Chain A
Amino acid sequence: MSEGTSKKTITIAGLSLDSPAMVMVAAHELKAPLALLRQLSLSIEAGGLSASDVERVARQMTLTSERALRLTGDMTRTAQRDSALFKLEPVNPVSLCEEVAKELMPLFAAHNKSIRVRYRRSSPLAVAHRELLRRVLINFSDNALHYSADMKPVELSVQVTGSTVRIGVRDYGPAIAADVWRTLSSRLKQGAMQPLAARPQSSGLGLSIASQFAEMMQGTIGVTRHRDGATFYVEIQQSRQMSLL
């Protein structure tokens, strides 16, 4: 990718987009949904499924391909980070959380899980790029889907901390291991994301993409470790405009 005569290097997870390691990480992330799609498709091809099973498997295929497409879309957006396409504006994070929860509800329901917005009285405005912020929250929610317990809903919440707005996604699942959490917190504070999985089967790509998107909005991401899960959050500047009530 070039800008004028100088070549700029775009990185995700501390890796250059055109590096072999980056290709490996992206390939690893896409392998699971593609393998699942193939298995589901083969099971329909083989026949013998009941009509309700075919309907169920077809729905799973649709939702799985949508997840894979979200990842490829995120990688494309990250590659465009220097193209000034992402103008920041006042965004109502509560309504955005509602939008994300609504969009992901079918995916969560298909996994026998749920997602909801935890409301607070205030409804601040944040300075953000609506689509990038949406992508960060979807990334966090997608991560939470894998680790949340069946009976506990994943919760999106918004709170004002000083001059910033913190939008968090809380899951109730296995705690992040102490050593992983220490390294993760330290790297998030440094703002230098390396490929680091917060939990075992993740390559850390989603988290790194979220970090890049937050940075594009002059924000940061972080994580709070709970005994029964984790809250991944993004912090961005609060807008000085009047909040939409």
Chain B
Amino acid sequence: MSNLSADVLIIEDDIWLSEQFERTLQRAGCQTVSTSNALRAMELIDQSPPQVIILDMLLGGASGLTLLHELQSYTDTAKIPVILCTNMASSIDKKDVEPYGIRRILDKTTMHPDDIVVAVRGALL
């Protein structure tokens, strides 16, 4: 797989899963930043907008949906592609979340570790 150079923000409250995503993406050539908190994510996005966001839906504090609403409120952040990575993938219809900038939904229960690299690559096209 060719080198993938992208700034990726991971918002995931399971720190071990977050570590796993970071390991995989860094090996593919990405620069990663991670947080478990939606409010902290907004601060990080303000400081340095990522090229792709990987977002878990259920977080401690504000949920992923709150963050998606916030991102859509500003023209610059609304354009950042978001990959939803969740255990609830089977209950989410992609058509319902596309207006929130969701490019792809990954199901944590069935995905392969490299799927996250493929998803980031796809989001950058």
Contact of B60 with A38 in the complex, beta carbons under 8 Å: no
Instruction: Tell me if A174 and B27 are in contact (CB < 8 A).
Output: no
Check B16–A34 contact: CB distance below 8 A: no
* Distance of A200 Cα from B109 Cα, bound (Å): 20
B20 to chain A, nearest CB (A): 5
Q: Which of A39-47, A70-78, A80-88, A121-129 contacts B (4 or more CB under 8 A)?
A: A39-47
Question: Which of B16, B23, B113, B114 is the one whose CB lies under 8 Å from A53?
Answer: B23
Total A residues in contact with B, Cβ cutoff 8 Å: 27
Known contacts A31-B87, A32-B87, A53-B23: does B17 contact A39 (CB below 8 Å)? yes
CA distance A147 to B112 in the complex (A): 28
B59 within 8 A of partner (CB): yes
* B61 and A43 within 8 A (CB): no
B24 adjacent to A43 (CB under 8 Å): yes
Chain A residues lying within 8 Å of B17, measured Cβ to Cβ, are: 35-36, 39
Q: Is A226 an interface residue (CB 8 A)?
A: no
A201 pairs with B13, CB closer than 8 A: yes
Is A102 in contact with chain B by the CB < 8 A criterion? Answer: no
Q: Which of A28, A32, A173 contacts B14 (CB 8 A)?
A: A32
Chain B interface helix/strand/loop/mixed: loop
Contact, CB under 8 Å: A40 / B20: yes
A39 near B20: Cβ-Cβ < 8 Å:
yes
Contact A36 B61 (CB under 8 A): no
Which residues of chain B in 4-32 are interfacial with respect to chain A, using CB atoms and an 8 Å cutoff? Answer: 13-17, 20, 23-24, 27
Q: Is A4 an interface residue (CB 8 A)?
A: no
Interface size on B, residues (CB 8 A): 21
CB-CB under 8 A from A43, the residues of chain B are 20, 23-24, 113
Residues on B facing A (Cβ under 8 Å): 13-17, 20, 23-24, 27, 58-61, 63, 87, 108-109, 111-114
Give 25 A-B contacts (CB < 8 Å), ordered by A residue.
A31-B109, A32-B14, A38-B109, A39-B17, A39-B108, A40-B20, A42-B113, A43-B20, A43-B23, A46-B113, A49-B23, A53-B23, A64-B16, A111-B15, A112-B15, A146-B13, A146-B60, A147-B60, A174-B60, A200-B58, A200-B59, A200-B60, A201-B13, A201-B58, A201-B59
- Chain A residues at the B interface, C-beta cutoff of 8 Å: 28, 31-32, 34-36, 38-40, 42-43, 46, 48-49, 53, 57, 60, 64, 111-112, 146-147, 173-174, 199-201
